[in-house]
Structure 1
């Protein structure tokens, strides 16, 4: 199996640590594999995609939070179905999460996230 550049990073919401980690994908191949559900990172609750303002979901229903340059949530798209396209032109990155997790974590526009890789 080919290894692609990614790492696990802790997810902090509004300055508070959570027990969750997300995979950080780099490069176009890493993004493509994330949306196909391949090369999944064990222990990750989602994937953070930098330099991303549109998502084509290819694998299973997910939640997607679009983030601004400062890491603040701009838009949350819940239960994005396979082959559905979502766009947020103002976003600088996107965080894909397991279906229903965005709501459980309290993610909504204006909530600051801290994702350092």
Structure 2
């Protein structure tokens, strides 16, 4: 059984290679979109915004719209503010080397951790 478990993680890359060799191209069905991609894109946008000097509130306006930011930024519980803080923390973690874990997990076919 151990051989089967370790073989399973290697099947997808092998299927991709066989398809590439036979068809001469990549099969979209063998590269399913990752469900966390929208978050990773937001983290990248936040990293760029912070590097350009944007404030947390500026980031909220860009990502969630000015109307929602005006309405929810100082609301009780400050969930919008917390959401931006988590995205900034994720951007910092990725910049500090977290992107390497993301790449390693993609190679193994597992999901990346939430940043």
- Give the structure-1-normalised TM-score: 0.23
The structure, 1 or 2, with the larger RCO (C-alpha pairs under 8 Å, 6+ apart) is: 1
What TM-score, normalized by structure 2, do the two folds share?
0.23
Higher strand content, 1 or 2: 1
> 1 or 2, which has the higher helix percentage?
2
